[in-house]
Amino acid sequence: MTKDKMQEAEVSLLIALAYIKNKKTNEDVSVSVDGAHVKTGDTIHFDIKKFYDDHGLVKEGDEIDRWQGTYKISDELPRIIVHSRPGSGDVNIVTLDGQTLYIESKKGDLSKNRGQEYPLMREAIGQLMTGIEINDNMIPIVAVPYSDKSLALSTKWIKFPQIKLLGIRFMLVKENGDIIEIEH
């Protein structure tokens, strides 16, 4: 059975896990999760603790009741540092060649014909263009759940001169954690 929605925090955490498990980084991965994306009032939007359990992530340290913190899959692999600092990008990964992936993630409706992809992807592009100063060592990336529409938009937009000029790339995240990377 598949679910209807993939939350922003899930997109971000699946990317972090993929880069760690596939040994595409030797450094800890930073993931910023807005508390409102996890829970507002009594409404749970994303069961982050269940996600940690389902993916074998073990928390380090004493504050076991908090969902923020440092998590590991094993002692041999880099860790995921989950925090709620605004303005730092949703995911920051230092790749093996020293480049920094600066990722803005968005949620998505996984059912057909919901039409959320266009405004959410445009919002992420806007955040990359106005939220940080992009340098030569940084690769700006828009990350969204995979859908036919997100694939069509990203393969179209990656060809635009303004997207090429800034070096913006796209990551489309599948429910099973597989990532399709759309690059120049």
- For 127, counting Cβ atoms within 10 Å of its Cβ (0-12 exposed, 13-18 middle, 19+ buried), the class is middle
Would you list the domain boundaries of the chain? 5-182
pLDDT at position 3 is 65
pLDDT at position 1 is 40
Average pLDDT over residues 142-148: 95
- Kindly report the pTM of this predicted structure: 0.94
| Neighbour tally for 65: CB within 10 Å | 7
